[in-house]
Amino acid sequence: MMRKLAHIEKIEWLSPIKDRDKIELVGVSGWQCIVKKGEFNIGDKCCYIEIDSVMPETEQFEFLRSKKFRIKTMKMAGVISQGICFPLSILPEGDYELDQDVTEILGIKQYEETMDIERNAPASSDSKKKYPNFLMKFNWFRKLVLPKKQAKGFPEFISKTDETRIQNAPFYLQNKNEWTATEKVDGQSGTFFLRKEKCKRIFKKTTYEFGVCSRNLRIWNEDSSSYWTVAKKYNIKQVLLNNIGDNEFMAIQGECIAANVQGNKYKVTAPDLYVFNVLTPNGRLGSVEAKEWAEQNGLKFVPIIDEHYILPDSVKEILAYAHGESKLYPTLREGIVFRSKDGKQSFKAVDPLFLLKHDE
């Protein structure tokens, strides 16, 4: 399912920008954007388009050509702006409800670098053709070009790793129970699973299926990508086999970092893995429990910043908290992931200053 990149929101507040009389700042959900002064009033509906969106190359969006039609975090007149607010006139005539997804109506695509990002990874040994990652995430395309088994894509019994941003879910701030705050490591998400294979014979020995996946796709054949490299480095198949017990499946999800991923901010010389999820059919372990499990099995866990964090009252405060230095290397961290103690709820806060520095 494509991320909801454009949706109908309400202008919640307006704020002047110092020494500027032609632009002002508006708030939509938990986001803030620079707009033309007087274009909106508080309570107006608008079409909000998130960062990481790529607009269609039409006359309507020609003003974005110099930015390759991509919406990014920007700073102007001393304030940060994330996304674009358009009047509803940008859409075909009709009635639009708050929170309605209009991504497809506008023909918006997600910026590729925020999905499967590893570059120059050799293809699988038996792969005869290479296809663009953005096409491979579509089920219809995989069915067209791949053998039936490989066309299935990401395993359906596991949720993909895509935490919602706090700006899109500010209601979480009302939950004043303790949360666990972990560093959001800037790499590429990998999923590793072991599943019991169905067997019709009563006395046949149990067999298992082991799988390695990127954020969106299963990598069926062993290759030299960072995903398979860390799977072998940490003997993940055996780790899962040792722990699966009576569960139908067990999986771990983590952030793969490597010299050819995201500019190698952590200056690693070989691919590595930092686990952030441990999954079974019963759900997801809480971060503290998952960290203990990972370390007992010889795996690294993403740095825990605070085990007893109480959420503040505003998005602005939580974004300020997300700003800081990485625990892995002296560089700016991407942000923070917050998880409830039972592991059932989670969201992320990405530092806008990190995006300004690295989102080129």
Residue by residue, pLDDT tens for the chain (360 residues) are 568 999 999 999 999 999 999 999 999 999 999 999 999 999 999 999 999 999 999 999 999 999 999 999 999 999 999 999 999 999 999 999 999 999 999 999 998 765 555 544 444 433 445 566 556 556 556 556 555 555 457 888 898 877 899 999 999 999 999 999 999 999 999 999 999 987 666 667 889 999 999 988 899 989 999 999 999 999 999 999 999 999 999 999 999 999 999 999 999 999 999 999 999 999 999 999 999 999 999 999 999 999 999 999 999 999 999 999 999 999 999 999 999 998 889 999 999 999 999 876
CB 97 within 8 A of CB 7: no
Residue with tokens 């030299």: 224
Q: How far apart are CA 143 and CA 130, in angstroms?
A: 15
Domain boundaries, the chain: 6-110, 166-358
Q: What is the 3-state secondary structure (H, E, C) of 92-134?
A: CCCCCCCCCECHHHHCCEECHHHCCCCCCCCCCCCCCCCCCHH
User: What's the pTM value of the predicted model, to 2 decimals?
Assistant: 0.84
Q: How far apart are CA 50 and CA 32, in angstroms?
A: 11
CB 283 within 8 A of CB 339: no
Question: In CATH terms, is domain 166-358 a member of 3.50.50.60?
Answer: no
Helix, strand, coil percentages in the chain from 3-state DSSP, rounded to 5: 25, 30, 45
116, burial (CB in 10 Å: exposed 0-12, middle 13-18, buried 19+):
buried
Count of CB atoms situated within 10 Å of the CB of 300: 18
Residue with tokens 């990190």: 354
What CATH class does 6-110 carry? mainly beta
Domain 6-110 and domain 166-358 have a common topology: no
